[in-house]
Chain A
């Protein structure tokens, strides 16, 4: 699968009746199996970019394509994970993860079997009957990750999935994501604020300018895979991190 953005721009209407540009124009091509991290200052339109790809936001101009087909609505094979876990409080962990399967019309027995097989990977084995209010922030986010994984997507759209978590939980979850990544071969597009996280996880780091976000740097991360947390002390890692830092500092003035 291939994604491409061609002069994609999004503007929102402001209360005075004018248009407030939020993103772009941005042109970008993402190939098969690429893990791309989007990084940039707050409000630069990273979330908007993710939402366009998810089919939740129509572009104001330009176009987003998947294998040459314009993305005008949520596409099959795409799954999005939001900044907050966004779980349904009246559903158990099991039923929250199974939601996409239920929407897709999978019979109950089958969907529970699929979800139960996923629980050990998510470290949620003993929490299948818990309600979201009974979970910690990290666990809730793992449930949201499970809700993405159960869709077996070809394109993962992750909007700062661990942004609301404390630093330790965040590191732990991103390492878990790294392990999941080594088993799968899909496109992942992830928004983050964290340079080390981006370099550690991604094949490519895209730096966006402040609002309206434009592409200012496209850094290829040529570190070997599989990746390990210790890599962050290596020279190559630091070189890449510094380069990205520099391009962020440049645009922030």
Chain B
């Protein structure tokens, strides 16, 4: 009894120590951002580089305030977010479905791999114009561009995750006469979820690239359009605002998936302790 309470105290001490380490680790990226901001201030203050190339932070802040006030930033962000959302839905959905099929029927891998690898190894920028021709100049073509770029990491992770499911646990499920859907829901999905969520993290940042590439190739609306039009007007501060907004979106999405991962995989943290 005493022994166990002693080890418990030791555990708590160890935890609080590592908690302090965690806070430090969490703050360090913030310090990096702060440092970059200082360097930026210094460069523009001394006018080491022309303000057309690197506008002072104050100008960027002003452009941000303007774009926020007239609602254009929000409108373009929502366009891009919408394209990303539907692109993720489509790309991740198809990636999961085909990945699961390939994991279950390896024959499919031989049939499909030439197409998939060819698709993946061709730069998205190169065939984005084709997608515009096929799917029109509206948001649909951007959604498809996003879906294509998001598809591959989802596919690869799904195949890896589902193939790694323990055959012993599969025997357990089979011995209980579990149906296909039950095996998927109670075994394959939770077993593959660490790998699937890792894939979703990658996909979530790629989604921004997909949507923006689509908007670059055919600028109508969205943050990609905002960058293009601002650049054409030599409005560098607005270019900065657009780019930083994309960064913020990508980071938020990444953090959101990381949060989901943290909530879903609590058993893993406890198992590793």
Indicate, yes or no, whether A interacts with B. Answer: yes
Q: Which residues of A pack against B, CB within 8 Å?
A: 54-56, 73-74, 76, 78-80, 82, 84, 86, 88-91, 99-100, 102-104, 131-134, 147, 151
Known contacts A99-B186, A103-B177; is A89 also within 8 Å of B267 by CB? yes
Min C-beta distance of B179 to chain A, whole Å: 8
Closest to A148 in B: B175
- Closest CB in chain B relative to A135 CB, distance in Å: 10
Tell me whether B175 and A56 are in contact (CB under 8 A): yes
The yes or no answer to B171 lying at the interface (CB within 8 A) is yes
User: Majority SS of interface residues in chain A?
Assistant: loop
User: Which residues in chain B, 164-200, are within 8 Å of chain A measured between CB atoms?
Assistant: 166, 168-169, 171-178, 182, 186-187, 190-191, 193
Q: Is B121 an interface residue (CB 8 A)?
A: no
Contact of A74 among B168, B176, B267 (CB under 8 A): B176
Inside 8 A of A79's CB, which chain B residues have their CB? 175
Q: Which residues of A contact B191 (CB under 8 A)?
A: 88, 90
**B193 — nearest CB in chain A belongs to which residue?**
A90
Roughly how many angstroms separate A188 CA and B168 CA in the complex, as a whole number? 21
Which residue of the partner chain A has the closest CB to B272? A133
**Do A54 and B270 touch (CB < 8 A)?**
no
- Complex: A95 Cα to B21 Cα, angstroms: 34
Q: Contact at A56–B174, with CB atoms within 8 Å?
A: yes
Contact in complex: A73, B168 (CB < 8 Å): no
Establish whether residues A55 and B175, one from each chain, have CB atoms under 8 Å apart when the complex forms: yes
Query: In the complex, which of the residues B172, B268, B270 has the most CB atoms of chain A within 10 Å of its own CB atom?
Result: B172
The smallest C-beta distance from B176 to any residue of chain A, in angstroms, reads: 5
B271 at the interface (CB under 8 A from A): yes
A90 contact set on B, CB distance < 8 A: 190-191, 193, 265, 267-268
Known contacts: A88-B187, A90-B190, A103-B186. The answer to whether A80 contacts B267 by CB under 8 A is no
Which of the residues A78, A82, A88, A133 comes within 8 Å of B190, measured between beta carbons? A88
Contacts A86-B168, A88-B169 given: A133-B177 contact, CB under 8 Å?
A: no
CB distance from A114 to the nearest CB of B (A): 15
Using Cβ atoms and an 8 Å threshold, which residues of chain A touch B271?
A: 89, 131-134
- Kindly provide the distance from the CB of A58 to the nearest chain B CB, expressed in whole angstroms: 12
Once the chains are docked, how many angstroms separate the CA of A131 from the CA of B169?
A: 16
Q: B176 and A82: CB pair below 8 A?
A: no
Contact A103 B176 (CB under 8 A): yes
What is the bound-complex CA distance between A135 and B267, given in angstroms?
Answer: 13
**Chain A residues with Cβ under 8 A from B172's Cβ?**
82, 86, 99, 147
Q: Which residues of B contact A91 (CB under 8 A)?
A: 267
A225 smallest CB distance to B (angstroms):
29
A89 to B169, CA, bound (A): 10
The CA-CA distance from A100 to B186 in the complex, in Å, is: 11
Which chain B residue shows the least CB distance to A130? B270
Verify A134–B270 contact, CB threshold 8 A.
yes
CA distance A90 to B270 in the complex (A): 10
Q: Tell me the smallest distance from the CB of B186 to a CB of chain A, in Å.
A: 7
- Indicate whether A102 sits within 8 Å of B186 (C-beta atoms), given known contacts A56-B175, A131-B270, A134-B270: yes
* In the complex with contacts A88-B187, A131-B270, A134-B270, A73-B175 CB distance below 8 A: no
